[in-house]
Structure 1
Amino acid sequence: MKLIEEIYQKIDENSKNFLGYPLAKDFDYREFAPFLNVCLNNIGDPESPSTLLFNTKSIEKEVVAFFADILSTDMEKAWGYVTNGGTEGNLYGLYLARESFRNPIVYYSEASHYSVKKNLHLLNIDSIVVRSQNNGEIDYEDLEILLSMNRHRPAIFFLNIGSTMKEAIDDLDKIKQTIRKYSIKDYYIHCDAAFLGCIAPFRDPKPKFDFLEGVDSIAISGHKFIGSPLPCGVVLVKRKHRNRIVNSVSYVGTLDTTITGSRNGLTPLFLWKFIQEHGKDGLAKRVKESMEIADYAEKKIKELGIDVWRNPQALTIVFEKPSDKICSKYQLASEDNIAHIICVPGITKDQIDAFVAEYKEDLKTVEAYATPVY
């Protein structure tokens, strides 16, 4: 159909220019095209069989086990499933946290993803927004003050392992120090590692955020750093938390432990293919190569003479917000007077050079309009 062809051509063209969102561009899953002619439905718990037999649960379990490994745990201690993306993973972590305590409070920073407020509203959990620092990290002094005022109530900590705008990482050690200082006995730690969940395990030094550090749940996106034509992700939780909410559903002969009933059975195939082809070593190499592109991008943008900033080892480069024309063409995410580019796999030095060249010309235009004429 002509309309479908036109839509594809428009999307294909737009995908060549974007730099502002964490969406890997270097994937090819055409071999899975035959699966578009069947309904893959991973209904229910990935570890529980179902009377519905056209599923990819065996593949899904392998994917979850891989992520458990890079997050310092195993499938005896942890449980997880392939989600529709980071928002669902965060919703699931907060859901299990809510079911763990009576009358808890969620603490999250103002730099958290926009979906957190929505998830908290859906779950009807009391929450407090904590100030964030200039680098996007949570303000630990503000957190301590708020926590001390509510020390009698269970605490749920929603931590950013790569904040949306500046890729900041909340310091788990500092959070734990505050927990100990005020003798908080009932608490739950969820980590939103949507972007950095596939990256942080291979940084040196490695940030503290995984199950080795005692966190309760972690949400990761699959379409961001690994890459996928469909949004997807993985949520990992301590198995004891998942066991608290298990229900058996006779209608489909399986256990109900996930957010949705019917679940996508195609995206586990995409993640599985990446794991088979790359493994941990390939993922580490991917992180290294992306870091090199980020170093290059930061250097080239600095040469323009504008304010440029970046958290240590981040793939996100923050700088003065360009004109609307530049932001629109390169699909830059912006907030107030700043914008950023994110150096995901598939972005090349040539693309960075093209962006910098246009930005340079754009700055000249701005200067010309700003220069008074006498």
Structure 2
Amino acid sequence: MTHTPVPARLRGLAEAADLSRTPVDITAVLDHLVTHADTAAPTSIGFPGAVDLDHREVMARLGRRLWNNIGDPTDVGGTAHTRVLEQAVIAWLADTLTMPVDDRWGYVTTGGTEGNLSALHAARRRLPTARIYYSTTAHYSIPKIVEMLGARGVVVQAGADGEMDYDHLAVGVRRHRRWPAIVVATAGTTMTEAVDDTTRIRAVLDAFEVPGRHVHVDAALSGIPLALDGRLRLDDDSGIGSIAVSGHKFFGVPTPCGVVLIRDSLRREGAPVTYTATLDSTVTGSRCGLAAALLWHAIATHGREGHRWRVSEARRLAAYTVDQLTAAGWPAWRHPHAFTVVLPTPPAPVRAKWLLATDADVSHLICMPGVTQGQIDAFVADLTDSTPRSIPRPRPASSPTASISTP
């Protein structure tokens, strides 16, 4: 196996952290990690993690012991767990998504990938011969999960703005219409934060009278903001069977985590485990109770209205960013609902300073809650200073618009 060389800035840390050395200077290693993260923070605007919420109280109060939410979140036995807080998080998110009270189940996961795996595993247990449809802009975890499940995947093209091509979906469904369909819709694609329209997806499935279906929404970034808007719903009219969201993105929880919600009527109950007195209904078994507590704390300290304000401020900054980049002669765009601003890939000196997400000739920055106008102004200034005005810059192929299923 080929190993990637350690970057020069990390060589000293790698040597200090080498556990074969005696003694290990633990304080020096931890100080280096914190200093490096603090130094990079002002220019880290390319990946989705909110930085405006303070989680220190929970970490100080609960961070010194193991909180193990083993088994099903509805279990109440055992000690040193936070399942009561986990249940409150599940109820809050399900209520925000208008999910029927008598047809909901979920748990706190390690992140969006586990949420997708849990939902798609439940769907395939019910529809074992189903084809799993997902777009070319779906999260990279989806084809991996399809392979893990031993399922047959059908790749659907996406438009220039990142949204699923429903005509191409129809081509695939028509070809495989004899088999059930599991369709992965994305609410917030990785590069452009596009949202697939579940109403149009359902119309395609209806048109070909697919014998059995499950629509799953991978909503890692945009799910909570859209739910707070009332523009993403899991009520009976939605036709959506499951959803996965991240907790370390919009809520900025300082450990990767997420939530998966599945209609209770669409899954099988877990098997009982005698020695733990729990049901084995989750992917990982033992689960991080601290993550559930951090999510509960983030919700409890701000409430729906506080989080709606955070959404509006982030979108305001994203709109400002588009205006500033465009005024500087650098074409940029965003979906109306999005925190994500898409632009042509900046020159190497800018990318060396600013942490952006880049895919060939397209990059993005994300105006997550906590990113400031000062950071955006500094980025635009660096971009302007490093780019000769005479260099032509491509413009987006189309003017993207959000397409969100509404009740």
With normalisation by structure 1, the TM-score equals: 0.94
- For 2:79, the equivalent position in structure 1 comes to 53
User: Using the alignment, how far apart are the partners of 1:68 and 1:26 within structure 2?
Assistant: 24
The superposition leaves residues 250-291 of structure 1 with CA deviations (integer Å, 9 ceiling, x where unpaired) of 010111110001100001111111111111111111111111
Q: Which residue, out of 357, 380, 405, partners 1:356? A: 380
The 5 A counterparts of 1:67-78 are: 67-78=93-104
Following superposition, which runs of at least 4 residues in structure 1 exceed 6 angstroms of deviation? none
* Residue 219 (structure 1) aligned with residue 219 (structure 2): no
Question: Counterpart of 1:122 in structure 2: which amino acid?
Answer: M
* Residue 90 (structure 1) aligned with residue 116 (structure 2): yes
- For 1:345, the equivalent position in structure 2 comes to 369
Helix, strand or coil at the partner of 1:317: strand
User: Using the alignment, how far apart are the partners of 2:253 and 2:288 within structure 1?
Assistant: 13
- For 1:27, the equivalent position in structure 2 comes to 53
- For 2:63, the equivalent position in structure 1 comes to 36
User: Using the alignment, how far apart are the partners of 2:353 and 2:53 within structure 1?
Assistant: 22
The 5 A counterparts of 1:200-219 are: 200-203=226-229, 206-208=230-232, 210-212=234-236, 213-219=238-244
- For 2:254, the equivalent position in structure 1 comes to 229
Helix, strand or coil at the partner of 1:227: coil
User: Using the alignment, how far apart are the partners of 1:162 and 1:54 within structure 2?
Assistant: 35
The answer to whether the 8 A contact 2:55-2:298 is kept is no
The answer to whether the 8 A contact 2:44-2:356 is kept is yes
The superposition leaves residues 192-228 of structure 1 with CA deviations (integer Å, 9 ceiling, x where unpaired) of 010011111233xx54553341200000001101111
Helix, strand or coil at the partner of 1:188: strand
User: CA 1:328–1:116 in 2, change beyond 3 Å: closer, same or farther?
Assistant: farther
In structure 1, stretches of 5+ residues that fail to align are 368-374
Question: Counterpart of 2:82 in structure 1: which amino acid?
Answer: T
The answer to whether the 8 A contact 2:227-2:233 is kept is no
With normalisation by structure 2, the TM-score equals: 0.86
In structure 2, stretches of 5+ residues that fail to align are 1-26, 392-407
User: Using the alignment, how far apart are the partners of 1:216 and 1:141 within structure 2?
Assistant: 22
Question: Counterpart of 1:120 in structure 2: which amino acid?
Answer: V
User: Using the alignment, how far apart are the partners of 2:347 and 2:117 within structure 1?
Assistant: 36
The 5 A counterparts of 1:142-181 are: 142-181=168-207
- For 2:325, the equivalent position in structure 1 comes to 301
Give 1:351 deviation, angstroms.
Answer: 0.6
Give 1:115 deviation, angstroms.
Answer: 1.2
User: CA 1:249–1:366 in 2, change beyond 3 Å: closer, same or farther?
Assistant: farther
User: Using the alignment, how far apart are the partners of 1:186 and 1:349 within structure 2?
Assistant: 48
Question: Counterpart of 2:284 in structure 1: which amino acid?
Answer: T
Question: Counterpart of 2:366 in structure 1: which amino acid?
Answer: I
Question: Counterpart of 1:194 in structure 2: which amino acid?
Answer: A
The answer to whether the 8 A contact 2:43-2:355 is kept is yes
- For 2:270, the equivalent position in structure 1 comes to 246
User: Using the alignment, how far apart are the partners of 2:352 and 2:53 within structure 1?
Assistant: 24
Helix, strand or coil at the partner of 2:162: coil
The structure that is helix-richer by fraction is: 1
- For 1:332, the equivalent position in structure 2 comes to 356
Give 1:296 deviation, angstroms.
Answer: 0.6
User: Using the alignment, how far apart are the partners of 2:235 and 2:42 within structure 1?
Assistant: 37
- For 2:28, the equivalent position in structure 1 comes to 2
Question: Counterpart of 2:352 in structure 1: which amino acid?
Answer: S
- For 1:127, the equivalent position in structure 2 comes to 153
User: Using the alignment, how far apart are the partners of 1:336 and 1:324 within structure 2?
Assistant: 12
User: Using the alignment, how far apart are the partners of 1:327 and 1:66 within structure 2?
Assistant: 39
The 5 A counterparts of 1:307-322 are: 307-322=331-346
User: CA 1:216–1:234 in 2, change beyond 3 Å: closer, same or farther?
Assistant: same
Helix, strand or coil at the partner of 2:147: helix
Q: Say how many residue pairs are matched.
A: 363
* Residue 14 (structure 1) aligned with residue 40 (structure 2): yes
Helix, strand or coil at the partner of 2:265: helix
Helix, strand or coil at the partner of 1:236: strand
User: Using the alignment, how far apart are the partners of 2:214 and 2:327 within structure 1?
Assistant: 45
Give 1:366 deviation, angstroms.
Answer: 8.7
The 5 A counterparts of 1:172-191 are: 172-191=198-217
Give 1:102 deviation, angstroms.
Answer: 2.7
The answer to whether the 8 A contact 2:178-2:211 is kept is no
User: Using the alignment, how far apart are the partners of 1:261 and 1:97 within structure 2?
Assistant: 19
* Residue 62 (structure 1) aligned with residue 88 (structure 2): yes
The superposition leaves residues 220-243 of structure 1 with CA deviations (integer Å, 9 ceiling, x where unpaired) of 00110111110111110101233x
Give 1:117 deviation, angstroms.
Answer: 1.2
